[in-house]
Structure 1
Amino acid sequence: MKKTRHRIKNAVRAVRSWVIPYARSRFRQDEFRPILSYLFTDWKCNIDCHYCFDFDNKREGMDLDTAKASIDWLKSKGCRVVAIMGGEPLLRKKFILEVIRYGSNRGMFVYLPTNGYLLDKEFIEKAGEAGLAAWNVAVDTIRPKPGLPKAYSVIEKQLRYLIEMQKKYNYLIFFNINITNKNMEDVRELTRIARKNDIGTDYHICEKPPKEVKLEHFNHRGNDLYITEKDWEKADELLDWLIRKNEQGYTMVNSKSHLKAMKRFMRGEKVKWKCLAGINGSFIRPDGSIAPCFTLQEKGDWGNVFEGEKFDRDRLAEMKKECQDHCLSTCFFNLGRYCMSLKDSLRWAMKHKKS
């Protein structure tokens, strides 16, 4: 009975947070109407994943006034889903709890990505009490491997408590898994663990840093985790296996079309997809400045949360002609997939019901 109530609550919350904002955005298609936004509160991180360039330990984080202003601005634009991003957000637990509480009180579906290293029982309970809607736990392997420190064995104790408290606080849990040439069997095992514990999953294909992003801080540009021609057959087998699990009803953020597109993308083929960055999605930096996405953050002035956005559709379209050749963003690919129609949006909401 408790499980049924939990799933009904998740479905209702998903409709309110995702489907209704999507439906409203269809009536204002010429305006910037974010359905999902990424709030980067910190660049700093406590671990070193050799494929990750999405951090900078020399840059300062967001202050609370800017975080609140960002949430208020997003709400004024019709957005009801905000992801607190890093770096590693849990480096400032007290601050993050304030952001979660403020966002939740403003009617936001707040979700929190973390590598789990700093998770503890007290924070799990306080985040639940503050109204956190979803945990996105980054884990790539069962046990640590060179360049891949995000391992299930390291955070298993914290995960067990996170799962134990799920029904009490009615949050979702997802595994965020990056597919490299060193962890393909781990990906299968993590998927099985997730299924056994009613945890959703989302998958990324390990890709080289885009040329548009500053990389002075990134020390592993020559790392050997990227998928190359010698790995294609093994990666194809894994992706086919994931597609079958998707068809069997496993809860995945990724659509089947995204998993299929990964095969072409890793071979360097162009993949056409509907990118909604700067249209129905955005990226907010610690100083309150805005960008369509992580990749395009350095491409000029896109506005800020205090004065408003400066997203020009024609300019965005021209830029995406080039950047989409080397980008297969899980976030924006699937946002585009589930925002193709009201039916697709409802299908996405029902994924929340399964978790």
Structure 2
Amino acid sequence: MIPLPRFVTFHVTNRCNCRCRHCNIWQLPEPPAPETEQFCRAVDDLADWLGPTELVVAGGEPLLCRHTLPVLERAARRGLRASLATNGLLLDEDIVRRLAALGLEAVNISLDGFDHTHDRIRNQPGAFARVLQAAEALHRAGIRVCAICVLMDDNLDQITGLVDFLARGDLFDGIFFQAMALPFGTRAAIPGWWREHPRFPHDTARVRALLDELLAMKRGGWFILNEDNQFPAMQAYFAAPDRFTLERCAVGEIGFTVNAGGDVMLCNYLEPIGNIARGSLRDIYYSPEAERRRREMAACRDNCHLLINCCFDPSQLVLPPATAVATDGSHD
């Protein structure tokens, strides 16, 4: 029996006002988009099918897209637990007031280091300062703010300091770490991509020590939002990015994405299973096409950003003994 999805992501646009060094989505063409009302009807589908499920509205930069605020408004009206994933650069006082009026649950803002590091990674001078301004406006409006930080070679020496900096303030409610993976927006899996990528950290001892420290900080009460098992999983991943460390890929049973063209995707590297213009999300999710895609995914042995980051599933994890987290809460 296919379990209900835990969350759904609407990637409403490929357009972005950043040119991040670890992401390719801004290089993708913008597909012909469905009408805003079709995205809103898809929200109704989710509410009728799943009740108060989690909906993430993302991009690209979703605040560049005309669908975003109407989708969030419909989600609030239908009782979905909606959040916005953004680089924060367009979160001015007016937008924040509108988000607060919708009762938005949370905003996840990309933050990859301190001032010059974050600005360089995002290719946007002043981005760090604007993120802090956005977080302050959201905090005043009563909206929870989470920092999303990608671990890469550029920022490893700043990570623990960044956690300390955010924890000492009151603007952020937590930080979630993601591993540098095949750049988002890459059209197909590329074996060995990490060997030549300038952002990928190759000093595995340094990465291992940092992840050990982050796990210890989390267990010490710091507001790090990753699951404990995610840290040894990332250690194993950074040590051997091409080694598949799961029993199987279960992404197709955890969640799905509706992309900017309305296509419903279980996996970004495989064909869509339908389109919101041609069927309800429930019917698409249980369709024969979706079942074929799940079989393809179950047989896949390629690592991707979903496995280690967004759709991390500790129940499928197979780790070498040296990286396993002990069940009594201690770290081997």
Classify the TM-score, shorter chain: 0.7 to 0.9
- Number of the residue aligned with 1:45: 16
Give percent identity, aligned residues only: 20
- Number of the residue aligned with 2:218: 246
Higher helix proportion (structure 1 or 2): 1
5 Å-filtered alignment, 1:95-174, equals 95-145=67-117, 146-149=120-123, 151-166=127-142, 171-174=143-146
Q: Select 2:262's aligned residue among 288, 309, 324.
A: 288
Question: 1:211 Cα shift?
Answer: 11
Question: 1:209 Cα shift?
Answer: 4.0
Following the alignment from structure 1 to structure 2, what is the Cα–Cα distance between the partners of residues 292 and 113? Answer: 19
Q: The residue matched to 2:229 in structure 1 has which SS? A: helix
5 Å-filtered alignment, 1:52-67, equals 52-56=23-27, 58-60=29-31, 61-67=33-39
Q: Per-residue displacement from partner, 1:190-216 (whole Å, max 9, x unpaired)?
A: 21233232521111111234898259x
Q: The residue matched to 1:175 in structure 2 has which SS? A: strand
Q: Per-residue displacement from partner, 1:5-27 (whole Å, max 9, x unpaired)?
A: xxxxxxxxxxxxxxxxxxxxxxx
- Number of the residue aligned with 1:330: 309
Q: Per-residue displacement from partner, 1:31-78 (whole Å, max 9, x unpaired)?
A: 452220010111100011111123445314553112112212222331
Letter aligned with residue 310 of structure 2:
C
Following the alignment from structure 1 to structure 2, what is the Cα–Cα distance between the partners of residues 301 and 40? Answer: 14
- Number of the residue aligned with 1:175: 147
Question: 1:178 Cα shift?
Answer: 0.4
Following the alignment from structure 2 to structure 1, what is the Cα–Cα distance between the partners of residues 138 and 247? Answer: 35
- Number of the residue aligned with 2:58: 85
Question: Is it true that 1:226 corresponds to 2:200 in the alignment?
Answer: yes
Q: The residue matched to 1:330 in structure 2 has which SS? A: helix
Question: Is it true that 1:208 corresponds to 2:182 in the alignment?
Answer: yes
Following the alignment from structure 1 to structure 2, what is the Cα–Cα distance between the partners of residues 275 and 72? Answer: 29
Q: Taking structure 1 as reference, are residues 212 and 143 closer, same or farther at Cα in structure 2, changes over 3 Å only? A: closer
Question: 1:322 Cα shift?
Answer: 2.4
Q: Select 2:46's aligned residue among 45, 53, 74.
A: 74
- 8 Å CA contact 1:274, 1:337 repeated in 2: no
- Number of the residue aligned with 1:257: 229
Letter aligned with residue 60 of structure 2:
G
Question: 1:128 Cα shift?
Answer: 0.8
- Number of the residue aligned with 1:316: 294
Following the alignment from structure 1 to structure 2, what is the Cα–Cα distance between the partners of residues 243 and 314? Answer: 38
Following the alignment from structure 1 to structure 2, what is the Cα–Cα distance between the partners of residues 118 and 210? Answer: 21
Following the alignment from structure 2 to structure 1, what is the Cα–Cα distance between the partners of residues 264 and 43? Answer: 13
Question: 1:338 Cα shift?
Answer: 8.9
Letter aligned with residue 157 of structure 1:
Q
Following the alignment from structure 1 to structure 2, what is the Cα–Cα distance between the partners of residues 256 and 187? Answer: 17
Structure 2: which 5+ runs fail to align?
318-332
Q: Taking structure 1 as reference, are residues 304 and 338 closer, same or farther at Cα in structure 2, changes over 3 Å only? A: farther
Following the alignment from structure 1 to structure 2, what is the Cα–Cα distance between the partners of residues 193 and 87? Answer: 27
Following the alignment from structure 1 to structure 2, what is the Cα–Cα distance between the partners of residues 130 and 339? Answer: 37
Task: Tell me whether 319-328 or 68-77 shows the greater mean CA deviation.
Answer: 319-328
Following the alignment from structure 2 to structure 1, what is the Cα–Cα distance between the partners of residues 180 and 22? Answer: 7
Equivalent pairs counted in the alignment come to 295
- 8 Å CA contact 1:42, 1:286 repeated in 2: yes
Scaled by the length of structure 2, the TM-score of the pair is: 0.79
Following the alignment from structure 1 to structure 2, what is the Cα–Cα distance between the partners of residues 123 and 338? Answer: 39
Scaled by the length of structure 1, the TM-score of the pair is: 0.74
Q: Taking structure 1 as reference, are residues 56 and 120 closer, same or farther at Cα in structure 2, changes over 3 Å only? A: same
Letter aligned with residue 137 of structure 1:
I
- 8 Å CA contact 1:66, 1:287 repeated in 2: no
Following the alignment from structure 1 to structure 2, what is the Cα–Cα distance between the partners of residues 249 and 192? Answer: 12
- 8 Å CA contact 1:39, 1:83 repeated in 2: yes
Q: The residue matched to 1:204 in structure 2 has which SS? A: strand
Question: 1:275 Cα shift?
Answer: 4.5
Following the alignment from structure 2 to structure 1, what is the Cα–Cα distance between the partners of residues 200 and 302? Answer: 18
Q: The residue matched to 1:48 in structure 2 has which SS? A: coil
Q: The residue matched to 2:116 in structure 1 has which SS? A: coil
Task: Tell me whether 119-128 or 249-258 shows the greater mean CA deviation.
Answer: 249-258
Letter aligned with residue 113 of structure 2:
T
- 8 Å CA contact 1:70, 1:288 repeated in 2: no
5 Å-filtered alignment, 1:259-278, equals 259-268=231-240, 269-272=243-246, 275-278=249-252
Following the alignment from structure 2 to structure 1, what is the Cα–Cα distance between the partners of residues 225 and 267? Answer: 19
